[in-house]
Each structure stands twice: as structure tokens, then as C-alpha cells.
Amino acid sequence: MNFIVTTIVGLQYGDEGKGKIAHQLSSGYDICVRFNGGPNAGHTIIYKGQKLVLHVIPSGVLAGVPVNLIGPGCVFDPSLLKTEIQSLMMLGVDISTIFISQLAHVISPYERKIDAMMNGKIGTTGKGIGPTYAHKAHRIGVNLGMLCDRGCEDVAQELFLSLSRVYRQSWLDVSAEDHEKWLESVEWILANVNIVSRDFFLGKKPEVLRYLPSGRSKLPEVLAEGAQAVMLDNAYGTYPFVTSSNCLPSAVQSGSGLPGRARAIEDVIGVFKAYCTRVGDGPFATEILDISLADKIRKAGGEYGSTTGRDRRVGWLDLDELEYAIEISGATKLYMTKADVLSSDVVPSVMVRHRGESFEFKPFDVYSPDGDGYGIHGSFAEYYQFICERLSRNIDVVSVGPKADDLIVLPTAL
């Protein structure tokens, strides 16, 4: 059986506002899946007027999507996942639609500790992501299936022994309390969340169909919600200042367990900010070095890490990088976010870099002077048209605020 897939991918360094877009679009889908990353991500969503950050759970959980899968390409921390699920329960969200693949790897307190010890090198989120993916590649990691089959205590002991052969003892020094909390959280996940096998999407009548409304005549539609972004991709980003997973649409099939014929690269929504931010270390050619200006944009755009609370570094849009990200990701639709942030209250002018040249624009006013809502007019229209011309394509949707309807949808989006 086949599936129709739409992928959402960040075209910069993460934090492009993918959460809002995914939340907005997900209601029409049968399945929503996270195919990469783990609790390093933080998709910020306004839900019933409240700000909510989803770290590993697909945003379709808030939109009544019947299946929300944490896929085989993800890693997750049982304690954080438990907390995330419990906060959804408190909001009255139906958590029976959350599924996790047995092949997803599990972050243990050891990996968190190791990440903290190694963090200085590139400024990771410190959630244990890199060590967990590394141990998976080393064949000493732990996936959810192993915990189901062999029991948590035994598997934890085995992991500790394997790691002891690689790391100094002091790097594995985790408190008994953390260890207990981990074991207890794993048990809680095993008891409360749907766990699915490698073959969830495979075969003539795949298991996933059991969870979709019966009597459907169309192929199931999947929304693959990318975490991090092209420039943080483990291979194609600014290595070594990258994350540990593959963030491109080409990783969707393996990261979700979809059959190879499900073409996740055919319908790709590429999301980028009207400016650019980056957390952690690494090159940033258009970074704004004027501290007070960067600070003003940071405050206006709420540019603080949704997972770590760290200040995001702020810079201008880099069209060379954006061109690269569009090409390598195969984005078929472009969404520009946070255009409202660059208003005259915040910036004296707006810069863009392309082919070694800098271009200057007046600050934007995305509200119509006639009082009829948002629109592409005045100085923002000049910026918008310049970018479309330089990219030789349309920007299909512009987001101008955190709320669902703060959007300008261009005819090309339809």
C-alpha cells in the first residue's frame, strides 16, 4: 500500500516557525510523523490561546489527527516524553493518538551526562541527542523494542557495561535518583503509549489502517514534520556545527518507516524566517554584531531557545544559504515567517545578503494602511519581490504573527 506524503522542513538553522505551520496544516491529515531528532527540538504552538512547546510529539496530536507517530529516525528521553504527554493530558488532549516506533532510540541519563561533558565543543542542547545517535551507530544503544523484549533493568545494566568500556567512570556518574526516574518513566511509557513495530506502514493492509476511520477510499495522507533544519543536517549542514540526525525530506522514508514508494520529496514545504537566527556555535555570515540591534530583534521576535531558553544569535537573511537549502531539500512551496518582527519600532533598516553583496530595505509594515488587515504592500512588498526575483520563484505564504490566522496566503499556495 502507498501513502501520500507532505514534508515540512526548516531551511535555516531551526526555529523558523515550523510548529505553527505544522499545527495549522495537520488537521487535514490522517497521520502526522516526526522522522528525526528528539527533545532538542521545540515546536512552539498557540493552542486554545496558550503557548505550548512540543518537543517530540507531532503537532497533529492537537488537531485530532488519528495517528501521531514518533518514528524510527527519532530519539526520545522517557522522562521528558512522560512530562510532555502529561501536560497534554492536563489540557484535555486525547493522547491515545500518540504512537512510538520500537526502533526509536532511547536517551538514558548516561547519554545526557556524556552530552553535558562534550557540549562545550559546539554548544548542543545538552539533551543527550548526539551520544544517543552515536551509540546507535556503535551498536551499543538501546531502542524501545529492546526495552519491551528484555526489560528495563537488564537493558540498562547492559548499556552501562558497554559504555564503561568506552568512557571514563566519571562520565557515567549519574545519580540513583535520575536512574530510578528513568526506569519509572520507561515503564510509564510502555504502559501508556502505543508502541508499533518496524512494519507499521508496510504490507497490503498495514497495521496503521486499524487506527484510521474506516470506509476511506483515498490513500492515507501523511504530514512529516521535520525537526531542526537543512543547515543543521548531519551531512549537508555546517558540519561539525550540526545536529546528529538527517533533517532533509530524503530522510523521511527511513525516519518514519514508510514504504520506499511513498515519495516524501514530492510535496515539500520549506520554511524560513524573514531574517535568520542560530543557537549554539558555528558560522553565521550575516550575524548582526551590533549587540543592541540584535537584542531588539531578539526581544521583538522572542528569539530564545524553546528547549534551552538560550539567547538565539540574530542575523539577516542569507540568500546564498537559502538557495542552497531550497535546492538540497527540494522545497516545492516556500513559507516566510516572522515578517512582522522587522517593523520600524525594531529596526532602522533591513539587510539581505546575496552573492557577496548586501542590500538594504526600509523596515516593514505588514498591516494595510487602509485598515483591512495584513498584506504585501509598501516596503514589505519591495523586500518580498526582491527575494522572489532573486530566488526565481514565489514565496507562497507569509506568516506575520504567532496566531493561526496571522497569515498572508498568496494565490500560488492554493
Site of interaction with ligand IMP (CB under 6 A)? 13-15, 40-41, 122-125, 127, 129-130, 227-228, 232, 243-244, 279-280
| Residue among 95, 98, 202 at smallest CA distance from 144 | 98
- 78 versus 220: smaller Cβ distance to ligand IMP: 78
Alpha carbons 113 and 135: distance in angstroms, whole number:
14
Q: How far is the CB of 182 from ligand IMP (least distance, A)?
A: 19
CA distance 71 to 99: 8
Q: Of the two residues 66 and 71, which places its CB atom closer to ligand IMP in the complex? A: 71
Distances (CA, A) of 299 to 71, 292, 337, 345: 34, 10, 16, 12
Catalytic residue chosen out of the listed positions 23, 30, 43, 55: 43
Task: State the residue number with the nearest CB to ligand IMP.
Answer: 280
For 90-102, the DSSP string reads HTT--GGGEEEET
Q: If you search the block for the grid coordinates 496503521, which residue do you land on?
A: 208
Cα(241)–Cα(78) distance, rounded to whole angstroms? 26
Shortest Å distance, C-beta 397 to ligand IMP: 21
3-state secondary structure of 398: strand
Which of 15, 115, 318, 406 does the annotation list as catalytic?
15
Whole-number minimum distance, CB 18 to ligand IMP, in Å? 9
Least spacing, CB of residue 133 vs ligand IMP, in Å: 8
Query: Closer to ligand IMP at the Cβ: 15 or 84?
Result: 15
Q: CB-based contacts of 366: which residues, under 8 Å, 6+ apart?
A: 339, 340, 343, 374, 375, 376, 380, 398, 400, 408
Q: Compare residues 6 and 40 and give the one whose CB is closer to ligand IMP.
A: 40
Backbone angles phi, psi at 151, to 5 degrees: 85, 145
User: Which CB, 250 or 277, lies closer to ligand IMP?
Assistant: 277
135 in catalytic set: no
Of the chain, the end-to-end C-alpha distance in Å amounts to 28
Smallest distance, Å, CB 282 to ligand IMP? 6
Compute the least distance from the CB of residue 365 to ligand IMP, in Å. Answer: 29
Minimum CB distance to ligand IMP smaller for 127 or for 333: 127
| Grid coordinates belonging to 161 | 557495561
Nearest CA among 340, 413, 406 for reference residue 379: 340
* 15 catalytically annotated: yes
CA dist., res. 217 & res. 211, Å (int): 15
> Which residues are marked as active site?
15, 43
